[in-house]
């Protein structure tokens, strides 16, 4: 089971993780949460559900490449869309959907952090993380977002870009990020297989 998700009774999934893997996953999820930012109610913890329901999101695309990958423009890159009407539609789409998208991504990353925080690693034994079917779906979303974030930082756009990552020399400063990207891909793939079984 080490490094691979496997099915558990009831439709969930389980994976064995060592202390370093837990630390890496938690750190990446926390960094993602920081990048996504607090909800519309702010960071003070006193969110007003009605205010959040009617809060409008941004109409301009984010400037950070990771956020651009996580929250893409509805009609492609706004600079490449010649039609002003499509740009206006895209801005409206973003204004009414981005807050919900951010909330979903935030909730998935928080679910990952919370479940990792329940694990204890002792001695030579890996901790076994058991997820319900709902938690597994949240993990799948979080793993996907983490991979998208790392892909943006590594300039991975197409499959050919991923192939180049395998040939990076160990001295390349991007190597740890590449290893995390590939490892997350393996976790994501086995979780998908488990959920489809």
Q: What is the CB neighbour count within 10 angstroms for residue 163? A: 10
Task: Kindly tell me if the per-residue pLDDT of 46 is higher than 90.
Answer: no
pTM of the model: 0.84
Q: How confident is the model at residue 34 (pLDDT cuts 50, 70, 90)?
A: very high
Dihedral over alpha carbons 55, 113, 28, 190 (to 10 degrees): -110
For residue 83, pLDDT beyond 80: no
Q: How far apart are CA 192 and CA 5, in angstroms?
A: 9
Q: What is the pLDDT of residue 123?
A: 72
Give the Cα separation of 88 and 56 in Å (integer).
15
Side-chain half-sphere CA neighbours of 161 within 13 A: 11
Q: What is the pLDDT of residue 111?
A: 97
Q: What is the number of other CB atoms lying within 10 angstroms of the CB of residue 117?
A: 10
């Amino acid at each position: 089971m080490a490094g691979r998700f496997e099915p558990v009774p009831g439709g969930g999934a389980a994976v064995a993780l060592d202390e370093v893997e837990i630390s890496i996953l938690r750190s990446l999820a926390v960094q993602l949460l920081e990048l996504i930012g607090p909800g519309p109610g702010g960071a003070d913890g006193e969110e007003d559900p009605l205010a959040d329901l009617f809060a409008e999101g941004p109409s301009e695309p984010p400037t950070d490449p990771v956020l651009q990958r996580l929250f893409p423009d509805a009609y492609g890159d706004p600079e490449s869309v010649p039609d002003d009407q499509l740009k206006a539609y895209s801005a409206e789409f973003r204004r009414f959907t981005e807050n919900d998208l951010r909330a979903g991504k935030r909730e998935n990353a928080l679910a990952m952090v919370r479940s990792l925080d329940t694990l204890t690693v002792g001695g030579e034994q890996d901790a076994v993380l058991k997820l319900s079917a709902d938690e597994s779906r949240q993990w799948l979303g979080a793993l996907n977002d983490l991979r998208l974030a790392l892909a943006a930082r590594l300039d991975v756009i197409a499959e050919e870009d991923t192939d180049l990552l395998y040939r990076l020399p160990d001295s390349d400063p991007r190597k740890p990020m590449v290893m995390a990207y590939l490892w997350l891909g393996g976790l994501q793939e086995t979780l998908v297989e488990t959920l489809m079984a």
